[in-house]
Amino acid sequence: AVLVEAPAYPFPEILQEEEMEEEELVLGGCDSDDDGGQSSGLSDLEEEEGEEGDFIVVSEAEIRERQEEDVGILCSMLSVPRAWACALLVHHNWDVVKVQEAWFADEDAVRNAVGLLEEGGGSSSSPRGEKVSTCRICLEESPRGSMSAAPCGHLFCDACWACYIHIAIADGPGCLLLRCPDPACRVLVGKEMVERFAADEDGERYSLHLFRSYAGSNKRLRWCPAPNCQFGVEHVGGETYDVWCKCSHYFCWKCGEEAHRPVDCDTVARILKKHSEVENTKWILAYCKPCPKCHRQIEKNEGCMHMTCKDPCRHQFCWLCLGDWFKHGENTGGLYSCNPFNQAQESRPVDEAELRKKRAQQSLERYTHYYERWAANHTSRQKALQSIAELDTQVECLKDTYCQPHGQLKFLKEAWLQIAECRRVLKWSYAYGFYLRKNRNKQKFFEYLQGEAEAQLDVLHSCAEKEIDVFLDPTDAPLLEDFIAYRSKLVGFTSVVQRYFENLVRDLESGLKDVLPGNGEADAGDASDSGS
């Protein structure tokens, strides 16, 4: 059989978790506010949308207006052209104060650094055809009227200027501080000259580079990661990092992933990395075995059981029992002497590689336990968001059937918003639980809190999703009194679930600090206990 060497385990944490002490989990989400009264409900967050707080949602047009304001301020302050102001701001990372301080401290040094030179050249004013000059790029003679120069006075034909600027813009944002084509010259090619020779598409790209340079300089500004969203979110203070964009996307401002309270950004990155790599790990565990001699992971890709490892090992062994192939002869009972289960177990010593593989399988089973529940709550949340999008139809039906104003039907949306938010919290709580393996008491208390919150959420979810159906049939709808009773019931469930999840988030973000240590017991190597 031909062996194909499989890659090393791509999921080193699976192997290392059983051999090394797990790193301390940084407990708590991006929101480090320890205010016990802060709600984890979407309804509260939605009410705050648009109000002044820790974040400001801004559009691309608003950011461009700010950019133009900064350029105008610098033009007035230093009495320089707009092209110079743009170059100075780009060079100083769009910090108006830094430009001002540097300019008045040593104007000549700033001019030399940016390449600013008073006008001394430019397009020739001579009539076309009267004089000719040689372009220093293409070495062709051209009329002076069809040649241009930067303030340094180095003449190049207009065709070469257009080509030079096109290539510079295509290369990226370096075109914002473009220098004269003469290798020995460091004079800036200004914004007006770039726009003069740039084609329409290149001009738009240059403008985009200038805009991105400005937006990227603001460390407090992050673009919304939702597809096709044109809004940015500016952090103006505070310690809350869960953000509602105007496009309705809810995300963490620090890492750009979806909002993930009560876990922190590092935990999110670790669990998402596991999600992306676990399928490869499952394949290796299912279809690969280590060479008994060199321990490289190998894949069997042909039919016979006689295996030969690659150079330089060249060890020959049996795929079934991993025993030395030369011992599978007449002296040991024949070729298939490894068939009986007991004999195979007794004849083959359990080496370190086999133990590592078993531990990896146990860790993988534990991971699968948490991942399945993580994914199930993710799916439930997506369906809840879909139900919210389709809620208007139900509201109109109930309004017509029971003659209720919209204000009396808001409880439906509030319930579904709470469900969606709690599914999100519950989803990330399973990532929290996956890394919580240090203390048995904390593990049990965490599972108790999580189980109680999940049970209450299931009651609310069922009430909002299934019990509403009887009221949506206008031909056989229950009495108004029954609908009012249902409304009171759903409002009560919503309030109860919100309190349960507030407690869950608060306790997890505090690191379950009220739970006493479990007599020094560490569960880092006990996958069966921590995975139940």
Active-site residue list:
304
Evaluate whether 434 touches 367 at the Cβ level (below 8 Å): yes
CA atoms within 13 A on the CB side of 508: 35
Query: What's the CA gap between 334 and 351, in Å, rounded?
Result: 24
- What does 132-197 look like in DSSP terms, one character per residue? EEE-TTT--EEEGGGEEE-TT--EEEHHHHHHHHHHHHHH-GGGGG-B-SSTT---B--HHHHHHH
Query: What's the CA gap between 495 and 497, in Å, rounded?
Result: 6
One-letter amino acid at 514 equals D
Reduced 3-state DSSP string for 3-48: EEECCCCCCHHHHHCCCCCCCCCCECCCCCCCCCCCCCCHHHHHHH
Label residues 374-385 b or e (16+ Cβ within 10 Å = b): beebbebbeebb
Query: What's the CA gap between 486 and 419, in Å, rounded?
Result: 17
Q: What residues have CB less than 8 Å from 63, skipping those under 6 apart?
A: 211, 214, 215, 221, 232
Question: From the CB of residue 156, how many other CB atoms can be counted at a distance below 10 Å?
Answer: 23
Q: Is the dihedral of CA 522, 527, 530, 532 positive or negative?
A: negative
Query: What's the CA gap between 523 and 340, in Å, rounded?
Result: 37
Q: How far is CA 418 from CA 35, 101, 374, 421, in A?
A: 19, 51, 18, 5
Q: How many residues does the chain have?
A: 532
Evaluate whether 13 touches 254 at the Cβ level (below 8 Å): no
Q: How far is CA 351 from CA 286, 322, 323, 358, in A?
A: 19, 11, 12, 11
Evaluate whether 128 touches 251 at the Cβ level (below 8 Å): no
Query: What's the CA gap between 369 and 381, in Å, rounded?
Result: 19
E-only strand ranges, 245-384: 250-252, 288-290, 297-300, 306-308, 316-318
